[in-house]
Amino acid sequence: MIEEKINNLIKQGIESARDDGKITEFEISEILVEHPAQENFGDYSCAIAMKFAKIAKTNPMEIAKIIVDYLPKNNDFIKKIEIAKPGFINFFVSEQFLVEEVNKVIIQGHKYGSSDIGKNKTVIIDYSSPNIAKSFGIGHLRSTIIGQAIYNIYKFLGWKCIGDNYLGDWGTQFGKLIYQIKKDKILLKDLTIEKLEKLYVKFHKNAEKNLEIEQGARDWFKKLEQGDKEAKKIWQICVNISLKEFEKIYKLLDVKIDYCFAESFYLKMSREIIDEAIDKKLVVKSEGALIIKYPKNELPVAMLLKSDSATTYFARNLAQAKYRLEKYNPDLIVYEVGVDQTLFLKQLFSAVELFGWAKKEKFVHIAHGLVRWKDKKFSTRKGDTIHLEQVLNQAIVKAKKIIKNKNLSEKEKQKIAETVGIGAVKYNDLSQYHNIDIVFDWDKILNLKGNSCPYIQYTFTRCQSVLEKAKFRKAKKTKIIEFNQEENAILRTIYKFPEIIEKAGESFSPNLICNFVFDLSQKYNAFYDKHKIIKADTIEQKEFRIALTFATSQIIKNSLNLLGISTLKKM
């Protein structure tokens, strides 16, 4: 990667200057360069001279000059190096490099941007993880979309990825449901997902007025934990009904998650963990319950076993962590879970360390914020649930209205609307930094002129139609010609793609890829609006522009692939 090459160049320069006694400071960071905001400061800029000068109390311009004098000169990727006040070293990449990068896209195709930096490394990504007998909430949608994108990015970077859907199929909610089912004498064969949701809401409404009800629910959950036949039967029916519902959503989203080790899978193990905790003297008794107290009280206590000897979500999560560590020996475990579970996960990761299974640095919480829609927060408990399937179907209906192509059959239109609608919902989520609350605004999501998925998909179809008109078969390597301003802008974006992917992986930020692909699309459209491609003045120019078109469309495709979004030939 070019960034790395320039970095190494600077490092070598600094080392040689130091060996010659020209500079004394040499403590340098990993990454020494940045893309300056303004074009006239080059493609990469380095601020190290200012840092050195501050420590040595000398003139940064002089230090910059020394470093530049010592930079190795024999390379073909730098065109010129400039020193700018107050001591920046600015690098301008060469035309040859820019064109070679287009050729790389042509040769590598769908692999362009991938790397093997993750070779021999394993990451587990815990995502989606909806709860049985509750609706698949908008939060689970965020987790599914972001988790899948992170999975795709890590895979592209050469990691071995293990996707795990930690289905919430255990917990006190089942006690509540079974209690209500029994109380209302509901026939099991009549149960549906809507009924389950209503029963859950009804339970909570009644429980506000009558505290005994909670005890009834606890009793049923206890029975379930002890393997009571009737409780187990009702539980299994609830699981089956929900799974069917979730499958529909995964199908709409076109998501497949490698594994689904649900909470109940860890039930027995969680009892063993509790024994281990007792042996290791990690827990104390408190009002009949077993809790972990953290050293120096740096975190609130965590409960492993309730006073009625039911296991907790925490205990099951611990069992899960241990199981994963033993089974996969991962280098990294990523939890894509809502921001409201931040404290819980902190407690969990610290507990893993107390048990001595792994360092907590192996664990990462990617916390997504809420989705807001007309100032309402979605919640199952209060009963104002937004049905995800409805939202997704609405996206498809709305997408159908923005399809431009008039020569499509109804069937084609429907297929396109599905790709555009679902893509738009995904992109809306991914294009915003995951940690913030996002707003669901249909006009923005489907805006063909703004930073939206339809805009990018449309740009892709535009490239495709150019390639089709050019009777384009297989891309040929292209040569340097003199390029105009718009071509220059595209070239100076393309080469950044591999760098963006690495950064998106490092910082778990698919939004970097969205920003990038939007930027590239805008630059391509500006070029398309101003210049002839197939009817360009010369053959060389035509071939060059077709190569640019091909590279743009390939990079859009690679980007959207990583985001879990499909492209279209027409729309």
Between 170 and 518, name the residue whose CB sits nearer to ligand ARG.
170
DSSP 455-483: HHHHHHHHHHHHHHHTT--SPPP------
Smallest gap from residue 555 Cβ to ligand ARG (A):
33
Helix axes of 193-209 and 172-183: crossing angle, nearest 10 degrees: 90
Cα angle: 526, vertex 531, 536; to 5 degrees? 150
Smallest gap from residue 380 Cβ to ligand ARG (A):
10
Smallest gap from residue 30 Cβ to ligand ARG (A):
31
Q: Which helix (H) or strand (E) holds 89?
A: strand 88-93
Smallest gap from residue 196 Cβ to ligand ARG (A):
16
Please name the residue that has the structure tokens 């206890």.
222
Smallest gap from residue 125 Cβ to ligand ARG (A):
11
Q: Where are the alpha helices (DSSP H) in 379-536?
A: 388-401, 410-430, 442-445, 453-469, 485-494, 497-506, 510-530
Between 317 and 553, name the residue whose CB sits nearer to ligand ARG.
317
Between 126 and 502, name the residue whose CB sits nearer to ligand ARG.
126
Between 317 and 541, name the residue whose CB sits nearer to ligand ARG.
317
Between 131 and 242, name the residue whose CB sits nearer to ligand ARG.
131
Smallest gap from residue 378 Cβ to ligand ARG (A):
13
Between 131 and 312, name the residue whose CB sits nearer to ligand ARG.
131
Residue 406 DSSP symbol: S
Spatial contact of 48 and 105, defined as CB atoms under 8 Å apart:
no
Between 44 and 314, name the residue whose CB sits nearer to ligand ARG.
314
Smallest gap from residue 131 Cβ to ligand ARG (A):
5
Between 101 and 263, name the residue whose CB sits nearer to ligand ARG.
263
Provide φ and ψ at 457, rounded to 5°: -60, -35
Smallest gap from residue 348 Cβ to ligand ARG (A):
8
Task: Please tell me the distance from the alpha carbon of residue 23 to that of residue 67, in angstroms, as a whole number.
Answer: 9
Between 127 and 159, name the residue whose CB sits nearer to ligand ARG.
127
DSSP 216-256: HHHHHHHHHHTT-HHHHHHHHHHHHHHHHHHHHHHHHHT--
Smallest gap from residue 317 Cβ to ligand ARG (A):
5
Between 72 and 383, name the residue whose CB sits nearer to ligand ARG.
383
Half-sphere exposure in the Cβ direction for 485 (13 Å, CA): 4
Half-sphere exposure in the Cβ direction for 45 (13 Å, CA): 16
Between 166 and 497, name the residue whose CB sits nearer to ligand ARG.
166
Find the Cα–Cα–Cα–Cα dihedral 169, 174, 180, 184, rounded to 10°. 50
Find the Cα–Cα–Cα–Cα dihedral 59, 65, 71, 75, rounded to 10°. 140
Q: Which residue ranges make up the site for ligand ARG (CB under 6 A)?
A: 126, 129, 131, 166, 168, 317, 335, 337
Smallest gap from residue 374 Cβ to ligand ARG (A):
23
At a CB cut-off of 8 Å and minimum separation 6, what does 115 contact?
Answer: 1, 156, 157, 158, 498, 501, 502
Between 143 and 461, name the residue whose CB sits nearer to ligand ARG.
143
Smallest gap from residue 182 Cβ to ligand ARG (A):
25
Q: Is 281 exposed, middle or buried (0-12, 13-18, 19+ CB in 10 A)?
A: exposed
Q: Where are the alpha helices (DSSP H) in 254-300?
A: 267-279
Task: Please tell me the distance from the alpha carbon of residue 182 to that of residue 198, in angstroms, as a whole number.
Answer: 14
Q: Hey, is 191 helix, strand or coil?
A: coil
Cα angle: 330, vertex 262, 377; to 5 degrees? 100
Structure tokens at 202: 């009804």
C-beta nearest to ligand ARG: residue: 168
